[in-house]
Structure 1
Amino acid sequence: MAAEKDLQIADGGAKKKKMIIIAAAVVVLGAGAGGYFAFSGGDAPEAAPATADAAAAEGEAAPAKAASGELGTALYVSMPRPFVFNVPGASRDRLVQIKVQILVRGTNNEEIAKQHIPLMESTMLRTFSKANADDLVTAAGKDTLKAAALKDVQEALIGVAGSPIVEEILFTGFVMQ
């Protein structure tokens, strides 16, 4: 009789463990499915840019936009990797890392910018390498560097694409050691 009670207690413990494991698996799968649906959905394109592109293709809305002074949709194109380069300083040379995004207007300019990323990277690296570490310590020096890079990139893109395409260069990360 005592042996039967021990068997029942042992059997009940195994069932509890099995139920706990099943419940944990259901919770993990539910959380995974919820995360998937929360982060993968909702990527449908907006209706306004699609209609603006369709109207621009017909040639009607483009002159109206230019006449009213309205700008296209602001889109940001990230450079695929940060720029890492050495700059000379008064006391010692410094290593600089800059993460860059560029501001363009309209999906057409975004596609052109993505197509010419190697040209923009080369142009920006050449401009950044001309900098001085003593100037880059100040905010004014960083702004001057951004302005010079923007001017050089726009000139390079005019030569290749026929228009400046890039409206602004943004530093999203700046580290100097």
Structure 2
Amino acid sequence: MAEEVELEVKPGKSKLLIIVALVVVVLVGGGLAAWFLLGSSSSDVDPAAAEDVAPKATPAQIGDALYVAMPRALDFMIQGAHRPRTVQIKVQLLVRGQDAEQLARKHVPLVEATLHKTFSATTEEELVSLAGKERLREQALSDVRETFLRVEGQNVVEQVLFTGFVIE
């Protein structure tokens, strides 16, 4: 009647086949999960509504973000609680677009002078706290923007960044 057929499976090949099948299942499952989690359907968003929600870019925010580093760290003295203290701050300016970068590079000496004036007016108490450093950074941004408005008639700098900060 029916003959029994014996299948010979070699032990090394069956393990390899199982491993390959598991890898394929994991990769396919991972790909599908990523597609569902990260993918977005364009039919879900109304383009007119998306324009209303998105903030409008100001002229200072248009263009690529470029960083203009001051050529040297700014060194200044402040009066400490017990003795004078030396402070060194490395600064970079965040600007948008090539035109703003050229203007910032053109006026580096003016920016350095403005920052020296701003930094020298601070106190030791302000510089040792994170909130004080943030206030100093905001004051520096305000002063640099005011300088550019006076000299160039436009806002050139988006942010003043402290990339190095040492108090001795």
Do Structure 1 and Structure 2 share a fold, with TM-score over 0.5?
A: yes
Q: Does 1:73 align with 2:64?
A: yes
Deviation at 1:71, TM superposition (A): 3.0
CA offset at residue 90 of structure 1?
A: 2.0
The structure 1 segments of at least 4 consecutive aligned residues displaced by more than 6 Å after TM superposition are: none
Aligned AA (1:117): V
- The residue number in structure 2 matching 1:134 is 125
For each residue in 1:118-166, what CA deviation from the matched residue of structure 2 results, as whole angstroms up to 9, or x when unmatched? 1100000000000101210011111111111110111011011111200
Q: Could you tell me how far apart the structure 2 residues matched to 1:154 and 1:162 are? A: 10
Q: Which residue pairs with 2:106 in the alignment?
A: 115
SS in 2 for 1:72: coil
Does residue 100 in structure 1 map to residue 100 in structure 2?
no
Q: TM-score, normalised by structure 1?
A: 0.60
More helix by share: 1
> 2-side partners of 1:141 and 1:87: how far apart?
14
- 1:68 Cα deviation after fit: 5.1
Within 2, Cα distance between the matches of 1:176 and 1:90?
13
What corresponds to 1:175 in structure 2? 166
Look up the equivalent residue of 2:144 and give its one-letter code: V
Q: Give the aligned residue type for 1:77.
A: V
| 5+ long unaligned stretches in structure 2 | 1-54
Structure 1: state its 5+ residue gaps: 1-66
Give the aligned residue type for 2:112: E
Task: Let me know the Cα RMSD of the aligned residues.
Answer: 1.4
Opposite residue 145 of structure 2, the aligned amino acid is Q
Q: Percent identity?
A: 49
Give me the whole-angstrom Cα distance separating, in 1, the residues matched to 2:149 and 2:125. Answer: 32
* Contact 1:100 1:173 (8 Å CA) reproduced: yes
Task: State how 1:1-177 maps to structure 2 within 5 Å.
Answer: 69=57, 71-177=62-168
Alpha-carbon separation, structure 2, partners of 1:68 and 1:133 = 39
The code of the aligned residue for 1:108 comes to D
* Equivalence for 2:29: none
Pick the structure with greater CA Rg: 2
For the residue of structure 1 that corresponds to 2:75, the secondary structure is strand
Amino acid at match of 2:156: I
8 A contact 1:93–1:133 mirrored in 2: no
Write the distance in 2 (CA, Å) between the matches of 1:128 and 1:152: 11
Deviation of 1:89 after TM superposition, in Å, equals: 1.9
